[in-house]
Amino acid sequence: MKIGMQKTVEVEVKTLKVCAKCCDMCSASLHDQDGAQIGEDWDNYVPMGMGLGEDGDYIQIDIDLETGRILNWDPPTKEAIEQFLETAQENSR
């Protein structure tokens, strides 16, 4: 039987899920170990192959609230980074 009463239940909050629609307004850049930018700014759709999402319009990441680490991110391959830099260069012209 249900009654009209509420009780508080303690839960452990673990993950912040972020989905952001960027359309063709995503901006990103790569930097070296000294903080110097490598190549041109990326200003376009969400870059494919960089582990940020699979649709060209959305960045989708899950963040562990305890560590601040992104949980569903696979580091990009060397080829994906090279493609990012090449496409950013082409788009800056």
Mind listing the pLDDT tens digit for each residue in 21-79? 887 788 889 999 999 999 999 888 888 888 887 667 888 899 999 999 999 988 999 99
Q: Which of 75, 77, 74, 81 is nearest to 38 (CA)?
A: 81
What is the span of the domain harbouring residue 56? 15-91
Residue partners of 46: CB distance under 8 A and separation at least 6: 22, 26, 52, 53, 55, 56, 57, 58, 59
With respect to residue 6, please indicate whether it lies within any of the assigned structural domains: no
Whether 66 is in a domain gets the answer yes
Residue 4 within a domain: no
Overall number of domains in the chain: 1
Residue 47's pLDDT is 84
How would residue 93 be classed by pLDDT, with cut points 50, 70 and 90? confident
The answer as to whether 7 is a domain residue is no
**Is 1 among the domain residues?**
no
Task: Note the pLDDT of residue 51.
Answer: 81
